[in-house]
Chains A and B, each alone.
Chain A
Amino acid sequence: MNSKKTRIFPWTLLGVIFGLFFPALALFLEHSLTGQALTWRSIYENDLSKPHFWIVCLAPPVLGVLFTFVGYRERRLNLLAQQMEGTVRTRTQELVEANQDLKKKNQEQARSEEALTQQRDFAMRIMTTMGQGLVVTNEKGIIEFINPAATRLLNYDAPDLLDRPFSSLVSERYHGLLELDFHQTTNTSEVEFLNSDGSEVPALITNVPRLQKGKITGIISVITDLRDRKTAEIQLQRQKLYFESLFKNNPNAVVTLDQHHRVVNCNPAFVAMFNYSLDEIRGKNIDDIIVPDDEIQLAKTYSHSIESGSAVHAVGLRKRKDNTLVDVELFGVPVLLDREQIGIFAIYHDITDMLKAQQEAETADQAKSVFLANMSHEIRTPLNAVVGMTGLLLDTSLSPMQREYANTIRISSDTLLSIINNVLDFSKIEAGKLMLEEQPFYLNQCIESALDLIAPKASEKKLDLAYIIHEDTPNKLLGDITRLRQVLVNLLTNAVKFTESGEVVITVSSTKIHDKEHQLEFSIKDTGIGIPSNRLDRLFKAFSQVDASTTRKYGGTGLGLTICQHLVELMGGKIWVESEVGKGTTFYFTILAETSPSTAIIFPRGRQPDLEGHRVLIVDDNETNRTILTNQLESWGLDVATATSAKGALKILKTEKDFSMAILDMQISEPDGISLANQIRKESRLASLPLIMLTSLGSQSERELGVDFAAYLTKPIKSQNLFEVIYSVMEKSSRGAKRKPTSPLYDSEMASRHPLQILIAEDNTINQKVAVAILEKLGYRPDVVSNGLEVLDALKRREYDLILMDIQMPDMDGEEACNHIRSTIPVAGQPRIVALTAHALEGDRKRYLDAGFDDYVSKPIRLNELIEVLEKDGTDKTTK
């Protein structure tokens, strides 16, 4: 609202002023007409008396009033105008707004119309493209709408179906379903439609009442084609039947359980095995039914296994309805569905027959073993007798012809014995009955004893034998020394057999595999006739020889190498051969062995302070021997020079000084070792040079040939022997005090560490010898008596620290003697008395202690027991 009020005063003023015009004019006119000057005086004089002056002077107020009215009118008009403006503005606003509303409404309408159209289109599209059939009927059941899917299902064209009753499309029996349901509920049911060619189409229909303004005006029916489902159902049914028949026809007893181990189902085989019908056992716990009492515990562990998800496979006994038992192999498997255990599946397989067969096989096997063992004994016993008797025969005086016959028998029986051993070994191997021992042994001893066995034959043929054990090869091993030796002897025998001249050398090296496990590689190299390369592969086959002629010439069963191969393989190794005809053959084999902690014999290794720096001359024409000797001596710290002939040796000895000793091989050629020795002795400077004779076995006669050798060494050279010989030669020739070897040999020092005067009282000669031998090995020199009386006599003659007293002796037994000693000899002079007894039970110990003995040792005497007893002596002694 226009707050500005129109001012009235300006109008009034204007009216007045305007009014003033009239008097003014009148005055003017008057004055102009009269010619009077217009002054206030004149006015006052003239005009005021005139009435028309006052009339004219009325003009300003009248006009003033008039104009005031006009002013008021103006004001009112303005106000009205303002009001009108306001109204117009409002109205316009309202109109604008109304207009906008209308516009909006129009837009909305347009939109909803569009949306509606879209929905309609969408709905149409759905209905047209949906896979399920759609039929819409009116309240009379006439089809008003039918979608393509439905027409496809029914194999009709849409126009043909419109205006038809819906029920006409369905088999009669389903007509009820198509009636209008005034309860407005939805129902779904399976029906069969009749399609155009009259066949029935299985379908699922879902009927929804069609509502319009709260009234049911028809049905909307959604139709799902069930043909595929029906086919799938049939297939599934067939699969189900298939698996059911697998279950039923399984020849093994099969049972299904729920997760609580209760029987759900079982097959006819189960019924047949256990004699329970399914009805009898359904719902019962399977373990309660078929597990015999002593297997319950085990069965429970199986159940637990399965519960935790693992499968069980075991063998056991189960019981039938009549309580008889049956051996079964059983399988138990958890059945999982979506990772959840819903049950258990168990199979029982009757193994009665299988067990019987197994038992029969075992019996046969056992019979075979017994047979082998018996055969062994049966054959060897008479053969031993033959060999033994022949030996005895040869000890008697025989005529040369008789001796020759006897010798032949001896040789033949030896051969027979070795053949039989081979054959028996072979059969044992074939039967898988060969067992390897595991005992500690010394590698060098094994090799040396193998060489000893063939040394006679080798020396007959004038062949050199030698062995080299490489530095890092462990010497004390765990294994079967006999079998290893058997392999070595076999290979050596062959080597010697097929070598006419030269040498046979064994080499051993090792590779560490583990902590204690080593692979040892052996090679047996000979300079023999060799084996043609095309025969190499037949070597290890049983009963084959290189060729028939060699069998005739060299003999043999052809089993030796096969046995070697088996033995080597049993020892975890391989065997192979390399050969060149005319040059020689080398057999290689490997074995796996564990080292055994070395406690006893310490092999002299490393530099020996007492030998260090001394010079030795080796004279040998065999390079292998020279190498072996040089390596060994140098490893002990000796300085070595070598010569291959007498001439060379003399040259060296004459020109070089300070040799401590010389080792001369007797078999060097012209001049031979003996001549060389003689020549050396002729030299004044060398007259006292210690000479060591190196000779092969069987050449003892040389020993008597005048030259004073300091020592003898036989080939093949054994390190232990070599060491002892050199050491003793060194000792003898040194002027200094007797020095002990830095690596103390086994226990022989015990007596010096722990000196004791020992008396042995034992009436049995053999036991005496054993006891004495053992004590002597330890360094002691015991006295021996053979009954209690002699003990007392001996005690009169001297004091003893220890008496080893046998119990059972004639004239006075051990207990009596002990008593006597305890009661007659003063405490200070009491010897320690140890009982030697064959009865060494716990109870006996007390008996002997009560009888006055200090301890006892069982017979036959064992080294470690004896050592224990001897050592105790020292710690107990307080007086002596």
Chain B
Amino acid sequence: MLVINRDSLEVYREIMGEGYETFIKDLIMTFFDTAPKLISELMLSLESRDTGAFVRAAHSLKSNSLTMGAQSLADKASVLEERGRSGDLSATNDELAQLNVLFAEAKGELLTIDLLQK
């Protein structure tokens, strides 16, 4: 199983038609830009115990990861979101480190992704 679930990106193929490649590339670049920011946001809000910001960041990260097809990253973000919602911010340090690794893997695959192939 690859890290990136191609189907999530494939859905845009039909809509975007010819502009699919450009669109996805743009999306990928945006992802590379925003995801690290969201992860930092998570870390900061964890330190400052800002539950609201934590949940929002986790939610956004989950949403973006799902759009890009980074399933594992999305799952992890979802777990953190739930934790945040339940008010429990304690045991998440290791998991934040994991997020980084998961993001790196997703990025690696997205960098070499062949958009013209499944």
Contact = CB atoms under 8 A, between A and B. Distances in A.
Interface of A: 373, 376-377, 380-381, 384-385, 387-389, 391-392, 417, 449, 452-453, 481-482, 485-486, 600-601, 720, 746, 763-767, 769-770, 773-774, 777, 808, 810, 838, 859-860, 862-863
Contact of A392 (B31, B64, B111, B118): B111
Contacts of B67: 766-767, 770, 860
B31 A481 contact: no
Contact of B17 (A601, A764, A808, A862): A601
A485 B117 contact: yes
Contacts of A808: 56, 59-60
Contacts of A767: 63-64, 67
A720 B8 CA distance: 26
B116 A720 contact: no
A388 B111 CA distance: 6
A860 B1 contact: no
Given A391-B111, A770-B67, A810-B56, A863 B118 contact: no
8 contacts: A376-B1, A377-B2, A385-B105, A392-B111, A449-B116, A766-B34, A766-B67, A769-B30
Contacts of A373: 1
A144 B24 CA distance: 124
A808 B61 CA distance: 12
A465 B52 CA distance: 57
A19 B14 CA distance: 172
B96 interface: no
B16 interface: yes
Contacts of B79: none
Interface in B44-97: 53, 56, 59-60, 62-64, 66-68
B108 A385 contact: yes
In the complex, which range does the number of interface residues on chain B fall in?
35 or more
B48 to A, nearest CB: 15
Contacts of B108: 381, 384-385, 387-389
A376 B2 CA distance: 8
Nearest to A377: B1
B107 A388 contact: yes
B14 A600 contact: yes
3 shortest interchain CB distances as A-B pairs: A388-B108, A482-B118, A388-B111
B34 A765 contact: yes
Contacts of B117: 482, 485-486
A53 B1 CA distance: 190
A600 B16 CA distance: 12
Contacts of A746: 17
B63 A838 contact: yes
A766 B8 CA distance: 13
Mostly, the B contact residues are helix
Nearest to B114: A453
A810 B52 CA distance: 9
Nearest to A813: B56
A766 B23 contact: no
B43 interface: no
A777 B15 contact: yes
A764 B37 CA distance: 12
B7 to A, nearest CB: 10
A774 B112 contact: no
Contact of A773 (B2, B23, B64): B23
A383 to B, nearest CB: 9
Contact of A452 (B8, B30, B111, B116): B116
Contacts of B23: 773
Interface of B: 1-3, 8, 11-12, 14-19, 23, 26-27, 30-31, 33-34, 53, 56, 59-60, 62-64, 66-68, 105, 107-109, 111-112, 116-118
Nearest to A410: B112
Residue of B11, B109, B116 with most partner-chain A CB within 10 A: B116
Contacts of B105: 381, 384-385
Given A384-B112, A452-B116, A765-B34, A720 B18 contact: yes
Given A384-B112, A387-B112, A769-B26, A860 B66 contact: yes
Contacts of A859: 63
Contact of B63 (A376, A391, A860): A860
Contacts of A765: 30, 33-34
Contacts of B27: 766, 769-770
B112 A766 contact: no
Nearest to B35: A766
A600 B13 CA distance: 12
Contacts of B63: 764, 766-767, 838, 859-860
A774 B15 contact: yes
A862 B7 CA distance: 13
Given A377-B1, A388-B111, A767-B64, A838 B59 contact: yes
Contact of A384 (B1, B18, B19, B109): B109
B12 to A, nearest CB: 8
Given A773-B15, A863-B11, 12 more contacts: A387-B111, A392-B111, A417-B112, A453-B116, A481-B118, A485-B116, A766-B68, A767-B63, A770-B67, A777-B17, A838-B62, A862-B11
Contacts of A384: 3, 105, 108-109, 111-112
Contacts of B60: 763-764, 808
Nearest to A480: B118
Contacts of B116: 449, 452-453, 485
B74 to A, nearest CB: 11
Nearest to A773: B23
A765 B38 CA distance: 11
Contacts of A377: 1-2
Nearest to B60: A764
A417 B114 CA distance: 12
Contacts of B16: 773, 777
Nearest to A439: B10
A860 B16 CA distance: 15
B5 to A, nearest CB: 12
Contacts of A380: 2
A445 B31 CA distance: 27
A765 B34 CA distance: 8
B58 to A, nearest CB: 10
Nearest to B6: A482
Nearest to A417: B112
A576 B26 CA distance: 42
Given A381-B3, A767-B67, A860-B67, A388 B56 contact: no
A808 B27 CA distance: 21
A600 B14 CA distance: 9
Contacts of B12: 770, 773
A141 to B, nearest CB: 107
A785 B66 CA distance: 22
A384 B67 CA distance: 20
B18 to A, nearest CB: 7
Nearest to A413: B112
Contacts of B109: 384, 388
Given A764-B60, A862-B11, A391 B112 contact: yes
Contacts of B107: 388
Nearest to A763: B60
A860 B112 CA distance: 24
A764 B111 contact: no
Contacts of B118: 481-482
A862 B14 CA distance: 11
A356 B118 CA distance: 39
B10 to A, nearest CB: 9
A862 B105 CA distance: 27
A370 to B, nearest CB: 11
A764 B35 CA distance: 10
A375 to B, nearest CB: 11
A876 B112 CA distance: 47
Contacts of A838: 59, 62-63
Nearest to A859: B63
Nearest to A777: B15
Nearest to B14: A600
A453 B116 CA distance: 8
